[in-house]
Amino acid sequence: MIKRIGLLTIGALLLFAFACAGSQGGDDKKNAKPTEASVMEVRNAFKNLAKVKAVRAEISAQQLGANGQINTTVFKYDFVPPDRYQLTSSTGTISRVVNGDLYSFANNVWMKLPEYSGKDYEGFDHFFNPKFMDGLAEEIGTTATVEKKATETINGKTCQAYVLTVVSTGNTTDVCIADNYPLRLVYHTGKLDTTAIFSDYNGNVVVDKPPVQ
């Protein structure tokens, strides 16, 4: 059975561990002096992300094990706004949320998990919630600096790279933008990275209520 802690870990990830900005308070706003054109390009990309009709992402999350080794878990994430999303883990776990209800797929059977459904998991959709994403976009360039880098190629697609740095913490997020959408995000914290690569913007992504036995 899926554990609550595992779901909350992914929820936190989608609530922007990538959080290039996120208000830190203090004097950050007067200290951050990014280039205005770069700020607008990154802001607009996140605003567009908030308006998608559907999207897929592959998320690679590094964790530091008790033995000191760095392990990576990969999640494939399908999202259909406003309330349908599925997480498929490289460990074999499949979780699906439809209208606030959580379902788990194991042993070729879908099961509804009522004890893990409802308001506790509403935060999963904040990653694409327009109000949340618009607020995040407005923070870019205030509490975080934006530095434009060279272009890169990701999965055969050319994108423009930026580095966002939170002034108060020094944490950085690499953002690569193509067609006015984020194509890749890499959040760095210490020796650990969390990477999201997006695809199928506004594509044919279907997340329906599964057949439950």
Q: Do 185 and 195 form a contact (C-beta atoms < 8 A)?
A: yes
For residue 171, give the 3-state DSSP assignment: coil
Its domain, for residue 18, covers 4-199
For residue 81, being part of any structural domain is answered with: yes
For residue 212, being part of any structural domain is answered with: no
What angle, rounded to 10 degrees, do the helices at 36-50 and 130-139 form?
170
pLDDT tens for 165-178 read 887 888 888 999 99
Give the pLDDT confidence score for residue 152 in this predicted structure: 97
For residue 207, being part of any structural domain is answered with: no
For residue 67, being part of any structural domain is answered with: yes
For residue 211, being part of any structural domain is answered with: no
**Number of folded domains in the chain?**
1
pLDDT tens for 35-60 read 788 999 998 998 898 888 999 999 88
CATH of the domain at 158: 2.50.20.20
For residue 97, being part of any structural domain is answered with: yes
Q: Grade residue 23 by pLDDT with cuts at 50, 70 and 90.
A: very low
- The whole-model pTM stands at 0.80
In whole angstroms, what is the distance from residue 181 CA to residue 46 CA? Answer: 7
% of residues, the chain, pLDDT over 90 = 29
For residue 208, being part of any structural domain is answered with: no
pLDDT tens for 119-177 read 555 555 555 566 667 777 777 878 778 899 999 999 999 999 999 888 788 888 899 99
For residue 210, being part of any structural domain is answered with: no
Q: Grade residue 10 by pLDDT with cuts at 50, 70 and 90.
A: very low
In whole angstroms, what is the distance from residue 30 CA to residue 37 CA? Answer: 18
In whole angstroms, what is the distance from residue 131 CA to residue 136 CA? Answer: 9
Give the pLDDT confidence score for residue 204 in this predicted structure: 94
